[in-house]
Amino acid sequence: MGADHPECPERLHAINDQLIASGLLDHLIHYDAEMANKDQLTQVHTNEYVEWVFQNAPAEGLINLDGDTAMNKYTLSAALHAAGATVQAVDLVMAGEVENAFCCIRPPGHHAGRSGASGFCIFNNIAVGAAHALKQHQLQRVAILDFDVHHGDGTEDIFHGNPQVMLCSTFRHPFYPYTGAESGNDHIINVPLAAGTRGTEFREAVTQHWLPALDRFQPEFLFISAGFDAHYEDDMGGLALKEADYLWITETLKQVAKKHAQGRIVSVLEGGYALHALGRCVMTHIKSLSEL
């Protein structure tokens, strides 16, 4: 997205390097992401927006979709593979080929709403996967758990009126995108956190608000919007979580999945811009998911 932009290719390099250093990489099953098609995208985005992205993808240089989000000549392909990864992961889990999956992708997705890009996000990757699970696999209830430091306003925009999807979200507030504090309902469980919130308060928020709602909802599939920018080393975020907190939330959601969803989880990379912390946190998350 341009020089010095935090949503950069080095994010995935940092994750891969940490997986190699930890010895995990060789023990994981790897898949190259397929590309999402327009029919899959328009389950969650308007036809007009999807066509606009395709038509405006530049052959050279950069085009700005909003103040934070740009496209170059490779971005459309990357965004289609990112959304397609979640579809492919759902199919793999539903077929029983894998118990769960982590989609190591960029650009992220949870700020992309029904009709627009926002906050580094072009297509809402996790929403595409969730809609695919409902439509193609005839599931009745899926849950999206979002612990990114920013509210997943795009995901809420897409599913606010759909009671088949529960969205549970923790996020710093007031903070970009300045949404979520008062927009919840029976299946949108928003838990704003104050600047500087540490792991103890984060765990209390999840325990008191997410877990009772998930027990009532009984999701058949869990999706995780895995943003790691609430880590204390990520100076763009302003929260103070540590690797131990990401281990705890992963283990907690695994128990929810085992209780209600036959263990089925697809986790999707969202934010996280302090590269060393990002690598360590994702490694911790994947190690827990893979039980290695």
Catalytic site residues? 111
What span, in angstroms and rounded, lies between the C-alpha atoms of 148 and 285? 14
Burial 175-207 (b: 16+ CB within 10 A, else e): bbbebbeeebeebbbbbbbeeebebebbbebbe
What span, in angstroms and rounded, lies between the C-alpha atoms of 56 and 48? 12
Phi-psi region of 288 (alpha: psi -120 to 50; beta: other; left: phi over 0): alpha
